Chains A and B, each alone.
Chain A
Amino acid sequence: MADTPDIDRAEDAALISGDLLSAGDLRLWFVREVLPLEAVLIQFLMRGGRSKSDVEDLRQDVYMRVCAIAQEAIPAQTKALVFKIARNLLIDRVRHEQVVSIESVENLDVLNVAIDEPAPDRSVIAREELRRLQAALDKLPDRVRCAVIMQKIDGFSVREIAVRTGASERTIERLLSDGVRALAEIMLREPVDMRRTT
């Protein structure tokens, strides 16, 4: 399969063999197990002073590879898998760049700190979630925030928002697209305490 990552799977103790995941299961697993790791993953990928777009590319690459593996076998330790993949990608990157930054290589070994990061907090109560969403909304640019509020709080469709604001439907769609992307960055990347001990 084209998407199969090139990491050495024989060595990967994090994997257990299992049934093929259906697309729905894969999605569920991805949303529940992988997405909550995004904050830590981004912190990890940002080491070595990479550019934002570089980090985003790497993140997407990690997700793709993680999904490719999970499709075949349910990882027992999602976190270990995610960071193993991220680490391999970074090593690859360093090789390709042919600029051996000692710092970046050294940093790769510090990633263990993240490994026993607590599982995503699934007990977040509704009120807390709402508070986080509101805080995230506040960080959006004005026009984007307005469009998101009108859709999610007022419950208006793109067309209704367009009618109410006098903007075109295309504009509203663009604002909402920007909105969901920005919300993802904010919601998935709230600062995580890396030094948390278990």
Chain B
Amino acid sequence: MSGAHADSKIFDGAQSVDALAAQFLIRRRNHADWTADDESQFSAWLSQSLAHKAAYWRLEAIWERADRLSALRVAKTEDAAESSLQSRITRWRAVLATIAVSACVVASGFLLHAPHTIAYSTPIGGHLDIRLTDGSRVELNTDTVLRASLSDHERIVTLDKGEAYFQISHDRSTPFFVMAAGHRVVDLGTKFLVRRNADRVEVALIEGRARIETAASSHPPVTAVLKPGDFAVIARDTVSVSKKNTDALADQLGWRRGVLVFDHMALADAAAEFNRYNNRKIVVVGPSIAGLEIVGTFPVNDIDLFGRAVKTVLGLNVERHGEEILISR
């Protein structure tokens, strides 16, 4: 019995030959962890009877014919220039990042028993591009949890943690709210970025306008309308808004292309950024080097490239200790 599938046995005497054939087919074609054991179990079943063979061949033939459907795949919309970078990014990551999601994800609510709230999440280093039923597009950055609840009269997305980029399909009659730590961002026809780290919420407005409203519990509640280039930070219920130029905003969205862009960023901050995306953590040892500045563009998962850059450009020691990368003078 295969370890990978020990929890979900393939054989089930109660199943029809067709059902079993279908299950083998789907598993066999989908699982990277389809083991030699699984394969021999499958071969044994197949050679048991010509009825099994016929059933399997029949479904396999249809499933292969259905490959033609890939002609309907929506063409990639961006990232053409990023191909060299993308190639550095692990395969599944790249797939998630670049494949345009077809209209069906829109309907993914069908797959849930409670279609009204859909939760999406990404692991550390993950990236997910989703299309909501209203046509809005949401991109989840690393280590993010988000819930979407869309109804006919309002659309609410709750950011439980992490970071997401919103491209809202504006509809005055159905307002779109992003909730984060009790604060609310109200779409007024926009593209914006929301990042939540515990109680700290950052909103960067890329295009259009949005209104932020701090939690009802804040004293006093604050409301501010953001314009393109505005960067709002809500911390301890106070809002501070600063201006960022287009380049800085583009840098902040680098993760959408799988990169981190540092423009004179403090070493400690840059390390913290990397640590969001990777299980191996960078530790900057000593306050004297924490403020040294870094400039450069790095694939989010290429800690080693970052380490080499730090070593050669800043002349610091970079050592690997287990899952940690220590940077010291």
Interface residues of A (CB under 8 A from B): 3, 23, 26-27, 30-31, 35, 56, 60-61, 63-64, 66-68, 71, 126, 129-130, 133-134, 137, 142-143, 145-160, 163-167, 170-173, 175-178, 180-181, 183-184, 187-188
Please name the residue on chain A nearest to B121 by beta carbon: A163
In the complex, which residues of chain B have a beta carbon less than 8 angstroms from the beta carbon of A126? 68, 71
Please name the residue on chain A nearest to B26 by beta carbon: A176
CB <8 Å contact, A130 and B68:
yes
B11 at the interface (CB under 8 A from A): no
Given contact pairs A153-B73, A177-B23, A180-B63, A60 touches B111 in the complex (Cβ within 8 A) = no
CB <8 Å contact, A150 and B105:
yes
Bound Cα distance from A170 to B27, whole angstroms: 10
CB <8 Å contact, A68 and B50:
yes
- Picked from A153, A159, A178, the residue with its CB within 8 Å of the CB of B102 is A153
Given contact pairs A60-B17, A146-B111, A178 touches B8 in the complex (Cβ within 8 A) = no
- Picked from A35, A60, A160, the residue with its CB within 8 Å of the CB of B61 is A35
Interface residues of B (CB under 8 A from A): 8, 16-19, 22-23, 25-27, 30-32, 49-51, 53-55, 57-59, 61-63, 65-73, 92, 95-96, 99, 101-102, 104-105, 107-108, 110-112, 118-121, 128, 130
Interface of A (DSSP majority class): helix
Please name the residue on chain B nearest to A162 by beta carbon: B111
In the complex, which residues of chain A have a beta carbon less than 8 angstroms from the beta carbon of B105? 150, 154, 164-165
- Picked from B62, B104, B120, the residue with its CB within 8 Å of the CB of A153 is B104
CB <8 Å contact, A149 and B65:
no
In the complex, which residues of chain B have a beta carbon less than 8 angstroms from the beta carbon of A178? 22
Interface of B (DSSP majority class): helix
Given contact pairs A146-B111, A155-B73, A184 touches B128 in the complex (Cβ within 8 A) = no
CB <8 Å contact, A3 and B49:
yes
* 12 A–B contacts from the bound complex (CB under 8 Å): A3-B49, A63-B54, A64-B51, A64-B54, A66-B54, A130-B71, A133-B69, A150-B105, A155-B73, A164-B108, A183-B63, A187-B65
Chain A nearest Cβ from B64, distance in angstroms: 9
Q: Apart from A133-B65, A157-B32, what are 5 other A-B pairs with CB-CB below 8 Å? A: A3-B51, A129-B68, A130-B68, A175-B111, A180-B26
